[in-house]
Structure 1
Amino acid sequence: MIGRVLDGLSRYLEHTRVLWRASPGWSTLALALTVLEAAVRTLMMVGIGQFIGSVPASVQAGAGSEAAARTWRWFLMLAVLLLIGPVLQSSLSTVTARCSSAYLVYVLGLVTEVGVHPRGIGHLDTPGSSARIRAVVDATRDWSFVAGAGATWSIIGPRLAGLGAIAVLLSWRWWVPLVVAASFLLVSHVFMSWISLAFDKLLETTGDDRRRASYLRSLLTRTESSKEVRLFGLTDWLADAYRATWLEAMTPLWRARRGGLGPVLLACLAMALTVGCSFALIGIDVAAGTVSLAGAITMAQAILRLQNFGVLGDAGTALARSTSLLRALAGVRQELGLPAIKPAAPAGSDNSTAATGAAEVRLDGVSFGYPSRQTRAVNNLELHIPAGQSIAIVGVNGAGKSTLIKLLCGLYAPDQGAVRVDGADPAVDDAARCRVAVIFQDFVRYHLPLRDNVVLGASSGDHAVLRQALTDAGGLALTERLSWETVLSAEYDGGTDLSGGEWQRVALARALAAVARGAGVLVLDEPTAALDVRAESALFERFLEVTRGVTTILVSHRLSSVRQADRIVVLADPAEDEHGVVEDGSHDELMRLGGRYADLFALQARRFTQDDEATIR
């Protein structure tokens, strides 16, 4: 019990610290207005009791009597309070909206840091941490979290009004308000603990299954999957799978909720008994003549006002959701080495002059393995790429080509060895990372204007640079039917989508535009898969021509395209218990060698020759 109380207090303190850090000025003003509103509520409670209690005496004494004047004074006070109350409530609503906005911006900033502050992406790939991050992100979209910040003042105000009710009742029987308030607090604590447990369970144990259920449901409703769902008759099967997965996900939560209902019901019973006994005592005192009518009305209101120490409906639920989210977010951030509930310190500014021109790349004894795999993706790799050289990296599936590129970008840090770009480590040096521009096979199709898809937020928006980049990528024809401000998504008014080949040309233009911003290494990680062999070969040839003098790395399964590179590196086949680079040289040198590259090239050439012969026949 004590542990739960301390845990609840720590959650509220955590929430309060975040609220203060997000908006100290507005929070102070909101607190002042909340105190004033609580005072007005207390005065209203006393005024109503005194006004009603004075009416019989004023009626009996008649107009113009002192008793009538007293009734009028109470009436005027109530009228003033009735005017002040709405003004305070409107002002408080405006101020709490500002507090809530600042709170949401602050918390969402903490969530964003979880994704982008750690330099690599390993935490986004690891199943355990990625599931916890996704659960936190999903929780921020829930209405109760959004309402949680504003709920703070919806709870503090009634609680302060409850303190006013205790002050009124202390002059009657001092122990009665304390016992009644304690019973309401007990109900509130037990209920909020039950709600917090439910939210914690929701965040901690059902994330993967809920996400899988949501995915299955989306297959039934998304445009992308609608054709195959109908063509293959998957509707009933997906509906049954969704239902089963959702039930499996929610059963532990429902079980936990049922298990916590007993204490809630017992606390409610205790609260009902204390309130009933309190009203009985008021009746006894009125019958004995020790309490006046005005006093009885005031005390009855005060006892009812003590329910402000109890459960406060949606406000309490929303606050519980916010505190559970903060607790989960703090845990994730601490796992990643970030401060629990405050932004990380900004990185020190780098006053060094940005490097330009081609960059040298070196990998010395690099090994790396994914946590979810038993074997290493890259094992003891040695590779040196002089500045300005064009190199192609080839190998069978699973040889580690894409992993090598991610290591070069600093998205992962090697388990062993060192990765250097112009002598600096891209995993820790932002300047080195900015020297590398990559177009991945699964590049992002941004729902942004054509201009932004090419420059990606860079300050350099020179039209000549944009046009040249798109020209070199073979995509200038796009400007004949689109403006630079056309959003590349059909989901927006005036927007349009592109074909696969057009998107790849836009992505290539993005890489070429990066050269103007100082990129010294350009990497194409199989981004031309949607192009046919001839188109890819022509595009690579053009790419190598326009990037001459820049270090370029081409990754492709089509050896007929990469043959144009100055140098070709063949990575080891993990199935052959090899590691590192097994062949290194120009296309002609490797063909004369008659090794693995020559075999792979001959195999692919034979397949294309057979396809051409079949087409002719």
Structure 2
Amino acid sequence: MSWINLAFDKLLQTNGDDRLRATYLRSLLTGAESAKEIRQFGLADWLSEMYRSTWLTATTRLWRARRNGLGPVVLTCLVMAPTIGGAFVLIGIDVAAGTLTLAGAVTMAQAVLRLQSFGVLGDAGTALARSTSVLGALVSLRLELGLPAIEPSRLKVPRATPSKSGEPAEVQFDRVSFRYPSRDTYAVNELSLRIPAGQSIAFVGVNGAGKSTLVKLLCGLYAPDEGEIRVDRADPAVDEAARRRVAVIFQDFVRYHLPLRDNIVLGAGDTDHALVERALTDAGGTALLERRGLSWDTVLSSEYDGGTDLSGGQWQRVALARALAAVAGGAGVLVLDEPTAALDVRAEAALFERFLEVTRGVTTILVSHRLSSVRHADRIVVLADPSGNERGIVEDGSHEELMRLGGRYAEMFSLQARRFAPVAR
């Protein structure tokens, strides 16, 4: 029994990382947490193929290991088969001679059948072998046909070809209203807004003003109840090419347990290393590669052999690089939906300034509750407060213009500034 347990443990170790990765990929495809990014970046087909090939690799290795250790297993079966058969013959003789009752015979037979616990017949590994043997045969057939082996980490991310690839996009909101099914009030109410191609704009407002809802509508995750949204005159809710023109970093962006390279490539749909390297540089993440033991092929999770974890700030650099790679890959609108909420005020402001600098000329939308972080945007839009029966946009202008206006933005900015002012002693 001990030998069997050791053999089974060895089999599990043979393909541990591959099985773990396959399970993780399946959770990405079926989990709600990653659904937004999978739809936005068009990753469903790529992840499905990656899951299939990773699971196939894992089960093939397992079956090969089982086959290599089949000799001792067969020997064990050959020893046990006549032993169990002989025991049943003796039970039959005793029953025929009247020395053993029928009830006793049943009890003895059950005891004999329990002997299989000392072998591999009927264990969980046998069931696994049956399910993986077919996959092993398919792999052999693929090799016999001369088809190339699949390398999951090098699969190209499938993307719809966006229109006007590489050019900044124009965004139009025309009397857009949206209400969540579970709520009585509108999250966005009769909002009209035009964002010219190449302009940087910030959405600000009180909690519940609909900032993140607007981003989800722009991404095509929801369709407006009323009005229209257009990206290059196409509706992102129904037009996949228009949806691919929008790259976004959500507040709850996904930290993929994939190599560093793949974490960035996901946004671009291109494996060009120069593009990936430039995106990481522009995101201020080159220091990542200076860490001991971290390379482009390092899996960003310590659950894997040779993998490593990143800090929250480092993950934000990777997520920013992913979005910048998407722009290089054809996205025309870049959205930051409070992805830096975990950073302190100064770190967030520095990251946003760098972001605006490296994305100059790209249509950019910033969402943050910290007004000091978005003050350098070309334009700041103050959204109405739906709870106060307001509609659309309250104020619209540059930081300087809105401060001179002395309205709601100036009040909110001054209130936040006082919170971080040095205390006189």
1:566 aligns with 378
Could you say which residue in structure 2 is the equivalent of 1:9?
none
SS of residue paired to 2:423: helix
Amino acid at match of 2:382: V
Deviations 1:92-134 (A, max 9, x none): xxxxxxxxxxxxxxxx9xx97x9989x989xxxxxxxxxxxxx
Alignment partner for residue 312 of structure 2, among 488, 500, 504? 500
Q: Is the 8 A contact 1:407 1:414 kept in 2?
A: yes
Could you say which residue in structure 2 is the equivalent of 1:579?
Answer: 391
CA separation in 2, counterparts of 1:565 and 1:458? 25
Q: Which residue of 1 aligns with 2:235?
A: 425
In the alignment, does 2:212 pair up with 1:414? no
Does 2:339 match 1:536?
Answer: no
| Paired position in structure 2 for 1:554 | 366
Q: Does 1:446 align with 2:256?
A: yes
- Aligned equivalent of 1:545: 357
Letter in 2 for 1:589: E
In the TM superposition, what is the alpha-carbon distance from 1:555 to its structure 2 partner? 0.4
The equivalences for 1:319-358 within 5 A come to 355-358=165-168
Which of these residues, 360, 363, 378, is aligned with residue 188 of structure 2?
378
Counterparts of 1:519 and 1:373, CA distance in 2: 33
The equivalent position to 1:466 in structure 2, one of 266, 271, 276, is 276
Give the structure with higher Rg (CA). Answer: 1
Partner of 2:301 in structure 1?
489
1:69-84 mapped onto 2 (5 Å cutoff):
none
- Are 2:412 and 1:604 aligned? no
Give the TM-score taking structure 2 as reference length: 0.61
Q: Which amino acid aligns with 1:566?
A: D
Alignment partners' CA distance in 1, 2:252 and 2:163: 33
Q: From 265, 290, 314, give the equivalent of 1:455.
A: 265
Question: How many angstroms does 1:354 deviate by?
Answer: 5.0
Instruction: Using the aligned pairs only, state the percent identity.
Output: 77
Q: CA deviation at 1:485?
A: 0.8
Structure 2 partner of 1:309: none
Q: Report the equivalent of 2:404.
A: 592
Q: How far apart, in 1, do the equivalents of 2:308 and 2:160 lie?
A: 40
Amino acid at match of 1:391: I
CA distance in structure 1 between the partners assigned to 2:411 and 2:267 by the alignment: 44
SS in 2 for 1:584: strand
Point out the structure with the larger helix share.
1
Q: Which residue pairs with 1:53 in the alignment?
A: none
**1:180-226 deviation digits (Å, cap 9, x = unpaired):** xxxxxxxxxxxxxxxxxxxxxxxxxxxxxxxxxxxxxxxxxxxxxxx
**1:397 aligned counterpart, secondary structure:** coil
Distance, in Å, in 2 between the alignment partners of 1:574 and 1:548 is 32
Q: Which residue of 2 aligns with 1:397?
A: 207
Gaps of 5+ in 1: 1-107, 122-348
Deviation at 1:356, TM superposition (A): 3.0
The answer on whether the counterparts of 2:264 and 2:276 sit within 8 Å (CA) in structure 1 is yes
Aligned equivalents of 2:315 and 2:221: distance in 1?
A: 24
Residues of 1 paired with 2:391 and 2:349: CA distance? 29
Alpha-carbon distance in 2 for matches of 1:602, 1:458: 39
CA contact (8 A) 2:279 2:324 kept: yes
C-alpha distance in 2 between matches for 1:560 and 1:492: 40
Give the superposed CA RMSD.
2.6
Change (3 A) 1:560 1:456: same
Give TM-score scaled by structure 1 length: 0.43
- Give the C-alpha shift of residue 466 in structure 1: 1.5
- Given that 1:454 and 1:466 are in contact with CA atoms closer than 8 Å, whether structure 2 keeps it comes out as yes
Aligned to 1:359: 169
Corresponding residue for 2:197?
387
> C-alpha deviations, 1:217-253, integer Å up to 9, x for none?
xxxxxxxxxxxxxxxxxxxxxxxxxxxxxxxxxxxxx
Q: 1:520-547: per-residue Cα shift (whole Å, max 9, x none)?
A: 0000001111222222111111111111
- In structure 2, the partner of 1:515 is 327
1:385–1:457 distance in 2 versus 1, CA, 3 Å: closer
Distance, in Å, in 2 between the alignment partners of 1:434 and 1:563 is: 28
Quote the Cα distance in structure 2 between the aligned partners of 1:590 and 1:458: 36
